[in-house]
């Protein structure tokens, strides 16, 4: 029987790895804390590595403490923060998304942002609203202060301005700890 293109997407395969006992102990402990199987945890770790960790350093991402970012932001005026967001958007948005998602579209940008939110440990909600606009609503609880909300809103607005063929501005709601926005993908 012929198979359909992409039919093997969800197939899995068994493979054996030899891990040291301490690593196995930690994996089992973390899986237990998350109430998932060790296999599910290892799959998740490997997927995160492939989706993000293997290429993020090439895209200029580094791990820094929240307190560092918050302290640096406190030294800047809102005008300076907007200027920094513009500089970062112009110099890295497209390259980072192309490197990590392999295409530069609204859909790939949203996937990039969601992966970044997960890796950053932000509590967030993403709802896809299936209508004639194919809207995506995000609420990101970053707990990093109003200046971080302003920075992210400007960074994302510049990204969406570049990708949005209809030149429709995105409405952002900012609070001390949260950023919310809805993007039309059509």
User: According to the model, what pLDDT value does residue 8 have?
Assistant: 56
- In this structure, the dihedral spanned by the alpha carbons of residues 35, 119, 14 and 9, taken in order and rounded to 10 degrees, is 110
pLDDT band of residue 34 (cuts 50, 70, 90) is very high
CA 75 to the chain's CA centroid: 26
Look at residue 39 and tell me if it is in a domain.
yes
- Predicted model pTM: 0.82
- The model's pLDDT over 153-164, given as tens digits with 9 standing for 90+, comes to 999 999 999 997
Interacting residues of 153 by C-beta distance below 8 A, sequence separation 6+? 172, 174, 179, 181
What sign has the CA pseudo-torsion 8, 52, 92, 108? positive
Same domain, residue pair 169 and 77: yes
What domain count does the chain have? 2
Same domain, 110 and 34: no
Phi (first) and psi of residue 76, to 5 degrees: -100, 145
Q: What does the pLDDT look like over 51-110, one tens digit per residue? A: 899 989 998 899 999 999 999 999 999 999 999 999 999 999 999 999 999 999 999 999
**Is the confidence at residue 168, as pLDDT, over 70?**
no
Q: Are 159 and 93 in contact (CB under 8 A)?
A: yes
169 by DSSP, 3-state: which?
coil
Q: Is residue 125 part of a domain?
A: yes
**Which range of residues forms the domain containing residue 126?**
65-184
The CA distance from 113 to 158, in Å, is: 14
Same domain, 163 and 77: yes
For residue 110, being part of any structural domain is answered with yes
Tell me how far apart the alpha carbons of residues 98 and 11 are, in angstroms, rounded to a whole number. 27
1 inside domain: no
Q: How far is Cα of residue 170 from the mean position of the Cα atoms in its chain? A: 18
Q: What are phi and psi of 122, to 5 degrees?
A: -70, 145
């Amino acid at each position: 029987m012929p198979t359909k293109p992409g039919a093997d997407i969800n197939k899995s395969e068994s493979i054996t790895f030899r891990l040291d006992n301490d690593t196995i102990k930690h994996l089992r402990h973390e899986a237990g804390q998350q109430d998932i199987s060790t296999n599910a945890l290892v799959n998740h770790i490997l997927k995160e590595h492939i989706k993000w960790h293997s290429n993020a350093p090439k895209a200029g991402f580094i791990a820094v403490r929240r307190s560092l970012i918050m302290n640096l932001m406190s030294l800047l005026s809102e005008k300076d923060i907007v200027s920094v967001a513009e500089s970062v958007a112009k110099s890295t948005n497209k390259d980072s998304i192309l490197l990590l998602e392999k295409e530069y579209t609204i859909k790939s940008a949203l996937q990039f942002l969601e992966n970044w939110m997960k890796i950053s440990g932000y509590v967030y909600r993403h709802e896809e609203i299936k209508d004639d606009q194919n809207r995506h609503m995000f609420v990101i609880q970053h707990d990093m202060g109003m200046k971080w909300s302003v920075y992210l809103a400007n960074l994302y607005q510049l990204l969406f301005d570049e990708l949005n063929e209809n030149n429709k501005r995105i409405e952002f709601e900012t609070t001390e700890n949260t950023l919310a926005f809805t993007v039309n993908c059509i």
